[in-house]
Chains A and B, each alone.
Chain A
Amino acid sequence: MSTVNKQPAMFQMLGGLGRWCLQSIEKFGDAAVLSAISLAHLFKRPWQGKHFMLQMYALGVGSLIIMAITGAFTGMVLALQGYYTLAKFGSESLLGSGVALSILRELGPVLGALMFVGRAGSSITAEIGIMRVTEQLDALQMMAINPHARVILPRIIATTLALPLLVSLFDVIGLAASYVVGVELLGVNAGAFTGEMVAKVIPMDLYAGWLKALVFGFLVGVICTYMGYRAEPTTEGVAQATTQAVVVSSVSILILDYVLSSIFL
């Protein structure tokens, strides 16, 4: 258009904001509908057990190594930082409980989920997006295979179930690594370290961590499958969708983490 827009900048900005909100709500609804339709196939034949297995393998087993590495280094750095802070007050013996509570309640589920988004979530969006571009989704339709049941459902279920398992592994490795740094390297009393750890952790901490992981896993599955499925069927479309899937998932995880934490504490 060659007309010069005479609207004041303020109105344009407000209009843009309004439009953005409406689009976001529309997308949110669309994603909810898409995943609801897909999840409905959970109760319908044919079962997608084999495809769920394959997704567990690709998404769950595939993320093991990155989870182990992030878990180990998170535990190590927590022990190191915690030690120097606590040493100022002469309460190094609290190191075990401090590390354990931070990992179990927050860092395990949140960092684990963020790494999972980068490793598994992006690959989900990219894969489904490419299936869209190369008409594989249409090809499935033409071969009387429902893409909701075959492509979306197994991925959502796999992310939902895999993330709590991965986060638990993250937790255990993180705790072990913090023990190594705290006790073996920095010389905190082994008994104080583990004793404090055991004494301060209550079952609710564990439940909260697992529930977070479960919710985040589901969220990653829903967002990333939606982004891929609704990707613009071009190369840039898929690239954009992948970036967006990672950004939206990560931000949602952080926001939802605050909400869940405020409920559980």
Chain B
Amino acid sequence: MQSYRKVEVIVGIFVLVGVLSMSWMAIKLGQIGGMGTSGYTLSATFDDAGGLRVGADVMMAGVSIGRLSSIALNDDSEAVIHMEIQNDVHLSTDAIAAVRTKGIIGERYVRMSQGADDAVLASGDEIEETESAINIEDLISKYIFQGKE
């Protein structure tokens, strides 16, 4: 049947278009399989990771170098985060990870600062030096109480 062939071809095109849409979103938006496989993992421990969420940017000098892959609490009630860092970015062992905010009401991200050490962090290593999130409330109350003293 000629018409059935046509149906098959059109359905084929339909499925292809659908799958292309899916993979476009997966690669461009979800970055599934993209950065995940070409990066390495670092962990860091913060006293306060306030506002960070999975998928948040990891930036160095304002350039995105990776993203947050997990965030959890450890036994000492500290926040442990895991980050996926792009393979072509090398961080020294004394690099500093800090939780910062984009703008005043913007979202939280992890800011990395390069250290001076020649040794480079490998996958699975932990970043020793961390700066917790700056809590504006704490800052303000601190300022007020200092003023009174």
Contacts and interface: CB of A to CB of B under 8 A. Distances in A.
Interface of A: 50, 53-54, 56-57, 60-61, 64, 89, 91, 100, 104, 164-166, 168-169, 171-172, 197-206, 210
Contacts of B17: 165, 169
30 contacts: A53-B7, A56-B15, A57-B10, A57-B14, A60-B11, A61-B11, A100-B29, A164-B18, A165-B14, A165-B17, A165-B18, A165-B19, A165-B22, A166-B18, A168-B22, A197-B29, A198-B31, A199-B64, A200-B55, A201-B29, A201-B30, A201-B55, A202-B54, A202-B55, A203-B26, A203-B30, A205-B30, A206-B26, A206-B32, A210-B22
Interface in B1-57: 4, 7-8, 10-11, 14-15, 17-19, 21-22, 24-26, 28-32, 54-55, 57
Given A171-B21, A202-B54, A202-B55, A61 B26 contact: no
Interface of B: 4, 7-8, 10-11, 14-15, 17-19, 21-22, 24-26, 28-32, 54-55, 57, 64, 67, 105
A223 B64 CA distance: 47
A56 B11 CA distance: 7
Contacts of B55: 199-202
Contact of A104 (B11, B25, B31, B105): B25
Nearest to B32: A203
Nearest to B68: A202
A53 B11 contact: yes
Contact of B25 (A89, A91, A172): A172
Given A61-B10, A202-B55, A203-B32, 4 more contacts: A56-B15, A61-B11, A169-B18, A198-B31
Contact of A56 (B14, B19, B28): B14
Contacts of B31: 198, 203
A198 B32 CA distance: 11
The secondary-structure label for the interface of chain B is: helix
Contacts of A60: 11, 14
A91 B103 CA distance: 10
Nearest to A173: B21
Contacts of B32: 203, 206
Given A60-B11, A165-B15, A200-B55, A172 B30 contact: no
Nearest to A201: B29
Contacts of A203: 26, 30-32
A172 B8 contact: no
B7 A169 contact: no
Contact of A172 (B4, B7, B15, B24): B24
Nearest to B69: A202
A171 B8 CA distance: 25
Most buried by B among A89, A104, A169: A169
Contact of B28 (A64, A89, A198): A198
Nearest to B16: A165
Contacts of A64: 14
Given A61-B11, A172-B25, A206-B26, A91 B105 contact: yes
A104 B30 CA distance: 11
B18 A198 contact: no
Contacts of A197: 29
B57 A199 contact: yes
Most buried by A among B4, B17, B24, B67: B17
Contacts of B28: 198
Nearest to B13: A61
Contacts of B10: 57, 61
A206 B28 CA distance: 11
